Chains A and B, each alone.
Chain A
């Protein structure tokens, strides 16, 4: 009985995921209205529940896809994977005024470069503080603090050891997850309440999943603006980290 039930969930994984996420959203919005009087967005609570479940899934299965590694919930991987995520992000652009995007254009580009460089420096400084002296190691960890994709790509290009590459991925994951949690909490403090600052935020933080979830938890109307700049971030990071930024690090160490 139980086994055939599990099989059913496994077979219809995407449909099951819709139902599971629907229930999660309902619970999150109920908690938001009942205990925080709507102060903490339902979507922020839902994302935190998701992250907590992902931690639980990762610890119990030792897999890499959070709760989606538990076969009962494997559909979450497809529903929350890159393909549908990007489709939904693009759909949020429907109804956006192009003039809004153009207004923040130059500052958005500045934010992109500043974001990649500042994140890289943050990672590199921590690496040096912990005693790393090899420019390849420092660059790879710095690149990991840009995004968890830039880290391993840079590491592979420069020939970093697998431990350092793993470290750089972990740094990028920490950045992405902290962004999801910290964005709604600090949004008011940093003036993240209009399309312009959302575009700059997307350029500065850049990690797509973090920006996507952080803005969703803050104000879903800001999503298209932040996503617009963030989408260039990883590419720019891959362009800069193993080349210009590596040369700077090598000149210093």
Chain B
């Protein structure tokens, strides 16, 4: 049933958030530390465990896939409910501080990633169940 998939997704999310919350409390910070990331790992492990045992029928998977497919529309709704006006009325200090952080962050991506050729996978785009096969941009 579709709800099994949705419930599995929701269960992973709540479990991850609980762990993230505990981690935050443990470190004494008023924030959830990586709850979403932990939930993602839980979902990866639980679905592959179920799939290996043939306990993940199409209907169950479609409950997860629906929310996967709703990701971009949800992000568009998120963009439409951002406080854009406040961002650009914060004055030059805010704009420059934010912009410099983005520029430096983007510049450092290739620095930390290193040259794609260093990768043992010869820079090829990994093929996880064909999900990334169509990314065929040659590496510079």
Contacts and interface: CB of A to CB of B under 8 A. Distances in A.
Interface string A15-49: 00110011011001000000000000001001111
B102 A54 contact: no
A87 B83 contact: no
19 contacts: A51-B82, A55-B84, A64-B86, A65-B83, A66-B85, A68-B80, A87-B67, A90-B43, A111-B108, A122-B100, A126-B100, A144-B94, A174-B90, A201-B106, A205-B106, A208-B36, A212-B78, A235-B20, A238-B29
B67 A235 contact: no
Contacts of B47: 94-95
A139 interface: no
Dominant SS among interface residues on chain B: helix
Interface of B: 9-10, 12-13, 16, 20, 23-24, 27, 29-37, 39-41, 43-45, 47-48, 61, 64-68, 70-102, 104-110, 112-114, 116, 119, 125-126, 128-129, 131-132, 135, 137, 139-140
A119 B101 contact: yes
A95 B98 CA distance: 34
B128 A97 contact: yes
A141 B20 CA distance: 26
Given A87-B9, A94-B43, A127-B93, A79 B132 contact: no
Contact of A93 (B32, B44, B86): B44
B76 A50 contact: yes
A201 B68 CA distance: 21
A175 B101 contact: yes
A1 B125 CA distance: 56
A192 B29 contact: no
Contacts, number: 366
A107 B111 CA distance: 11
A51 B74 contact: no
B124 to A, nearest CB: 9
A235 B31 contact: yes
A80 to B, nearest CB: 3
Contacts of A110: 112
Interface residues on A, range: 35 or more
B102 to A, nearest CB: 5
Contacts of B20: 235
A200 B84 contact: no
Interface of A: 17-18, 21-22, 24-25, 28, 43, 46-51, 53-55, 57-59, 62, 64-68, 73, 76-77, 79-81, 84-98, 100-101, 107, 110-111, 114-115, 118-119, 122-123, 125-127, 130, 141-142, 144-146, 149, 153, 166-180, 182-183, 186, 188, 190-197, 200-201, 204-206, 208-210, 212-213, 216, 219-221, 223-224, 227-229, 231-232, 234-236, 238-239
Contact of B37 (A17, A141, A182, A228): A228
Contacts of B98: 123, 144-145, 170-178
Nearest to A224: B40
B136 to A, nearest CB: 9
A228 to B, nearest CB: 5
A76 B77 CA distance: 5
A142 B137 CA distance: 36
